[in-house]
Amino acid sequence: MSPPPGPRILVVEDDEATRTALRRDLAARGFEVEEAPDGRAALQRWDRRRPDLVLLDLGLPDLDGIRVLRQIRREAMTPVVILSARDAETTKVEALEAGADDYVTKPFSTLELQARIKAVMRRGGGGPADAEGRLVAGPLVLDLLQRLVTVNGRAVSLMPREFEILRVFLANQGRLVTRGRLLRAVWGEAYQAEHHYVHVYVSTLRRKLAAADPRGELRDLFIADPGVGYRVRDPDGS
């Protein structure tokens, strides 16, 4: 009896050699793979079969990848990982703000891509909070109901906005969180240009967590991606 097919991935890539290499590698890892060489074919295949994840190139011959992404986001929260040679910070921010779950710059290793896919699909498998309304990362626990943060069982005193920043980070483990997203979530739409707020509050939050974490288990919990935001480590370290 043959095993059931794995998660279905739609690979949207106009370069045939890259598309073929991705299909072979993903199929060898148990994924069911469908391919699309351009934006219109991608939207047709996505609408027909609704894959579990989309790997999306931005430089397509007919529709820009951002346009494809926005069309998907109008109808579903299907995880989308951008694969692109475009490495400008503005392009990364535009894609992430449009709803991409992650952004991988070409060239990339198959191990890196596998880790990113795993992290995105794991996060998409369910809500980030546990049954008791807690967000957990190693020794760090954020209790949403009691608005309490502890490290190894000891309470950490946070200001309201520090608490909200940490909440956004822990709810997005395994993802890249843009500065704009943090500003909208914590301060509101009117503060989208105040990027220095993020730097100041995140620095203070880091210091408080470090003081409560002498073993350094939380040292790389969120890492700055210059000009874009912060990549948040998930519980498995990816």
Domain extent listing, the chain? 8-124, 134-232
What distance, in Å, lies between the first and last C-alpha atoms of the chain? 34
Q: Does domain 134-232 have CATH number 1.10.3720.10?
A: no
Q: Which of 84, 110, 107, 109 is nearest to 28 (CA)?
A: 110
- The CATH architecture to which 8-124 belongs is 3-Layer(aba) Sandwich (3.40)
What is the average per-residue pLDDT within 86-113? Answer: 91
The torsion angles phi and psi of 195, rounded to 5 degrees, stand at -65, -25
- pLDDT the model gives residue 126: 47
What confidence tier does 128 reach under pLDDT thresholds 50, 70, 90?
low
Tell me whether strands 222-225 and 229-232 are parallel, antiparallel or unpaired. Answer: antiparallel
Q: pLDDT tens digits, residue range 157-212?
A: 999 889 989 988 998 888 888 888 888 878 876 777 788 889 999 999 999 999 99
Model confidence over 11-68: pLDDT tens digits? 999 999 999 999 999 999 888 999 999 999 999 998 888 888 999 999 999 999 999 9
pLDDT of 76 reads 74
Q: What is the pLDDT of residue 4?
A: 53
Residue 236 has a CB neighbour count (10 Å cut-off) of 11
